[in-house]
């Protein structure tokens, strides 16, 4: 039962343009959401997070938007840089079981010069 | 400081054999997690340890899988009688245990191939 879904397996974007990654979830009990970035042969690294009490969180070039009514979140990267080429995972958790992150399948982002 | 380390980085084993995967968390982190990533899939939660509390084993796929955490630090994930479907990258993560401390720091993973 996939509770966190990333329906776009890949995304290609030109350097300097905006990358928009989408994530949908089905469990309304999720109250914390995270994005992780993964390079080949490395473990995922934390990128940005958002609590369900907010609808936006920004950190430099990265902004996460949360639409609770639609059970949808998105990650915006602007401007995109070649070093952003990686797999991005969306993850969600519940306060009563915060150790159990539920991950999406990931989106491979390729930033072209 | 040192990050999460895992060993071995790669393991090839024959079907039916037992394997042990090791994780050294970041010093001072009280929570430790195991995930696995099968080809083309997202990370799948397996088990997590929080301090001295009983571990949450709800993600373990079968009784062939078990994990221990000795002395609140190093953890070993054991897979008995391995099957081909166990082939995956096994990832360990650790974090501080605090309210809202959701950031998990991941190791590089162990790639397990069962032939």
A42 touching chain B per CB within 8 A: yes
Q: What is the pLDDT of residue A34?
A: 93
- For the segment A98-108, the average pLDDT, to the nearest whole number, is 89
Cβ pair B88, B65 in contact under 8 A: no
Two structure tokens written together for B36 = 């696995």
Q: What share of chain B is helix, strand, coil (3-state, %, to 5)?
A: 5, 45, 50
Identity of the residue in A32, A45, A104 whose CB atom sits nearest the CB atom of B102: A32
Average pLDDT over residues B59-84: 94
Q: Is the pLDDT of residue A26 over 90?
A: yes
* A81–B contact, CB cutoff 8 A: no
Q: Which segment, A40-54, B40-54, B73-87, is predicted with the most confidence on average?
A: B73-87
Q: Using a CB-CB distance cutoff of 8 angstroms, which residues of chain A are in contact with residue B56?
A: 97, 99-100
Asked if pLDDT for residue A81 goes beyond 50, the answer is yes
**A54-71: average pLDDT:** 97
The backbone torsions φ and ψ at residue B39, rounded to the nearest 5 degrees and listed phi first, read -55, 125
Does any CB of chain B come closer than 8 Å to the CB of residue A35?
no
Taking the CA of residue B66 and the nearest CA in chain A, the distance in Å comes to: 17
Residues of chain B found within 8 Å of residue A6, distances taken between Cβ atoms: 42
pLDDT score at B99:
47
What is the Cα–Cα distance from B114 to B12, expressed in whole angstroms?
6
What are A100's two structure tokens? 């159990």
* Per-state percent for chain A, helix, strand, coil, to nearest 5: 5, 55, 40
B98 vs A16, more confident: A16
At residue B115, does pLDDT exceed 60?
yes
| Chain A residues with CB-CB distance to B41 below 8 A | 105
Q: How far apart are CA B60 and CA B105, in angstroms?
A: 20
Asked whether the predicted pLDDT for residue B96 surpasses 90, the reply is no
The pLDDT assigned to B102 comes to 63
Worst-scoring range by mean pLDDT, A106-110, B48-52, B81-85, B107-111?
A: B48-52
pLDDT at B1: 56
Say if A100 is an interface residue toward chain B (CB within 8 Å): yes
Whether residues B43 and A89 touch (CB distance < 8 A) is answered with yes
Q: Please answer yes or no on whether A105 and B41 come within 8 Å at the CB atom.
A: yes
CB pairs A-B closer than 8 Å: 61
Res A30: pLDDT:
93
Put simply, the answer to whether B43 touches A101 (Cβ < 8 Å) is yes
* Between B101 and A39, residue with greater pLDDT: A39
Q: Which of A40-54, A88-102, B77-91 has the lowest mean pLDDT?
A: A88-102
pLDDT for B101 equals 59
| pLDDT computed for residue B98 by the predictor | 45
Does the structure show a pLDDT above 90 at B30?
Answer: no
Average pLDDT over residues A48-67: 96
d(CA B93, CA B108): 9
Q: What does the pLDDT average to over A61-90?
A: 97
Determine the pLDDT at residue B100. Answer: 56
């Amino acid at each position: 039962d996939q509770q966190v879904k990333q329906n776009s397996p890949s995304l290609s974007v030109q350097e300097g343009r905006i990358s928009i990654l989408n994530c949908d979830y089905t469990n309304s009990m999720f109250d914390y959401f995270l994005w992780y970035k993964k390079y080949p042969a490395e473990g995922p690294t934390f990128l940005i997070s958002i609590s369900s009490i907010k609808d936006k969180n920004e950190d430099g070039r990265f902004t996460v938007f949360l639409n609770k009514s639609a059970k949808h979140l998105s990650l915006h990267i602007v401007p995109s840089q070649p070093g952003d080429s990686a797999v991005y995972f969306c993850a969600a958790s519940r306060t009563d079981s915060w150790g159990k992150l539920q991950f999406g399948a990931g989106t491979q982002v390729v930033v072209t010069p | 400081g040192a990050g999460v380390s895992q060993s071995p980085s790669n393991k090839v084993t024959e079907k039916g054999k037992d394997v042990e995967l090791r994780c050294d968390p970041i010093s001072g982190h009280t929570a430790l997690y195991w995930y696995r990533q099968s080809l083309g899939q997202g990370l799948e939660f397996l088990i997590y340890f929080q301090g001295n509390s009983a571990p949450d084993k709800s993600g373990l796929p079968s009784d062939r899988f078990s994990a221990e955490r000795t002395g609140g630090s190093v953890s070993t994930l054991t897979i008995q009688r391995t099957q081909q479907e166990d082939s995956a990258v096994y990832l360990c993560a650790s974090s501080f245990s605090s309210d809202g401390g959701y950031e998990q720091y991941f190791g590089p993973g162990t790639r397990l191939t069962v032939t």
